[in-house]
Structure 1
């Protein structure tokens, strides 16, 4: 059985895998992936899963309140467990046991960042022990960076409450957000699209509205100039 056939048998994928997941699957020797975003206020949203096992790994971390996802959100660093069966996960023993029952050999959690803000985590797994070399780690981080804007956009579209608030005062919001976008554009020496995406990422990661972020930028109490990119 080929690697691809073995992977498919372990975690059958839907006919159409979300673009946010597809890049990881096509570029890395993993069996499955899920992409989730989370905010400082505790809001969590799974945007895609490549199959049932990937989805269950994501669900377990949320249900149990433990796992490498939380470490990634706190640290902004990639977390790799190349051999789940060997132990070494004292911080999440229940999840470790559950992963063993799912026949998960290795798991990798990759931060999805926009600038210094960690807006989500891509959780990759292999059905056998696996080590990602430096090139593969760099590839995973590059893909996570590439999908960050799309992940935030997708999450923001689903944030119905925020959309409703913004709709109530659309003219004022547009004016203030446009002004803030212009300020961030100058601070980062970038495009308006990237500047607005940074406003969105900061808002989502901190559990506040884009309008609140825009007002802070305009007032001068928040600057993206000193935020590492």
Structure 2
């Protein structure tokens, strides 16, 4: 049992990322859990590149992680430099500066429901062996319960700790979406799309724009259509 707790009284999750690196020989890992309304909690990211890959997919709403969430099966991209990436063209273009050679995503499953994803990357291109795929599936299955428990615990703590490597539930993004919804008298889906579009057009993250909206430094009511 993990008795370590953060400043908010929530037990810190065990090191869930390391086994994937140790057993699969990948460069980095991120693990994210998704709520029924699309809210994301990133449980851990092993390094800054893994965190950025996770953040880009959250910001853009596309990438291997989203494909895995939709299908419930692993998404394997052994060489990101090849293929058309029709399902995630903006994400593929956005990771060009990260020097990522391969990406893999494995589902976190609770019964038949996909509740999250484990994202893996390698600096160099190369496929996972059938044995490594089997190990990744086993590791993902073993950590699902603890990942979900920590996501639920963290979501209930207002202002829970957040860092580049372990971003908490994006509360500001959801709060900003609600504020934009009111400002534009529109739906939550359109409000979030406007948030994404504004972030992309200005070369900033959705999190940054959301923070400006919540702090009332930015109002979408005053922006041009």
TM-score range (shorter-chain normalised) is: 0.5 to 0.7
Match of 1:94 among 81, 90, 93: 90
TM-score, normalised via structure 1 length: 0.61
Residue correspondence of structure 1 range 1-229 to structure 2 within 5 A: 19-160=15-156
Per-residue displacement from partner, 1:11-38 (whole Å, max 9, x unpaired)? Answer: xxxxxx9521111111101000000000
* RMSD of Structure 2 on Structure 1 (CA): 1.7
The separation in 1 between residues aligned to 2:49 and 2:28, in whole angstroms, is 8
* Partner deviation per Cα, 1:182-206 (whole Å, 9 max, x = no partner): xxxxxxxxxxxxxxxxxxxxxxxxx
When residues 114 and 88 of structure 1 are mapped into structure 2, their CA distance, relative to the original with a 3 A threshold, is same
User: How far apart, CA to CA, are the structure 2 residues paired with 1:86 and 1:18?
Assistant: 36
Helix, strand or coil at the partner of 2:38: coil
Shift of 1:74: 1.0
Structure 2 match to 1:198: none
Quote the residue 1:176 is aligned against.
Answer: none
- Deviation by residue 1:68-126 (Cα, 9 ceiling, x = unmatched): 11111111000000000113311111111122211000000100112212111000000
**Deviating runs (4+, > 2 A) in structure 1?**
none
Unaligned segments of structure 1, at least 5 residues = 1-16, 162-229
Query: Which residue does 1:190 correspond to in 2?
Result: none
Q: Secondary structure at the match of 2:81?
A: helix
Q: SS of the counterpart of 1:34?
A: strand
Could you report, residue by residue, the CA deviation over 1:133-159 in whole angstroms, capped at 9, with x for unpaired residues? 111101000000010111011111113
When the two structures are superposed, what TM-score results if normalisation uses the length of structure 2? 0.62
Partner of 2:36: helix, strand, or coil? Answer: coil
Structure 1 counterpart SS, 2:16: helix
CA shift, 1:39, in A, is 2.0
Q: Distance in 1 between matches of 2:84 and 2:134?
A: 24
Q: Please, which runs of 5 or more residues in structure 2 have no aligned partner?
A: 1-12, 158-225
